[in-house]
Amino acid sequence: MNTPPALSGSKSELRRTLLTARRAFAADAVRYPRAQAQLGAELRAVLDQRAPLCVGFYWPMAGEFDARAVLAAWLDADPTRRAALPVVEHEAGPLAFHAWRPDSPMQAGRYGIPIPLAGLPLQPDVLLVPCVGFDATRLRLGYGGGYYDRTLAASQPRPYTVGVAYACAQVEALPREPHDIPLDLIVTESGRI
């Protein structure tokens, strides 16, 4: 793995820089499909190792890794397994998670992100968290809404958290604020942190 770039500036400037890098990476017709396959294999290995009953994950947007195929195969392997997507029920509150299957009817949620139309509430024991950026201490830079920070702070018991990102999202160090909660693991196409 290359040495992560040192970035300076505000979180919003870092976010813009990293989202631009991710869009450029997603446009690479050779590296991007290979990274998708490698990241999917890494993620499946983590799920096999952790053996969760319920995995919370995210609907992909803006070039994020799409975990739906990995989760669909994981669900098919054992009918007792559950997967759930986040739902914003209150603007300043934690996320709720509603049951999802590949054939679940969907509707547009907040910000136009699809959510299960009639999914039952679930409590994930493993939570896949999208990362705009991350560092070696497993701090995560998200989109700035604070939903995952509030969710992790409010969760009892707290799920095992797996940040999902491409290696190009790693930076030397992210600015840390008191509400920032490091993730338990970061998974990229290059391996795990």
Buried b (16+ CB within 10 A) or exposed e, 156-173: eeebbbbbbbbbbbbbee
* CATH number for the domain running over 11-167: 3.40.50.10420
Each residue's pLDDT tens digit, 101-119: 999 999 999 889 999 998 8
pTM: 0.93
Under 8 Å between Cβ of 110 and 88: yes
Domain ranges of the chain: 11-167
Q: Rounded mean pLDDT of the chain?
A: 93
33/173 Cα distance (integer angstroms): 28
pLDDT at position 118, please? 86
Each residue's pLDDT tens digit, 3-28: 455 455 688 999 999 999 999 999 99
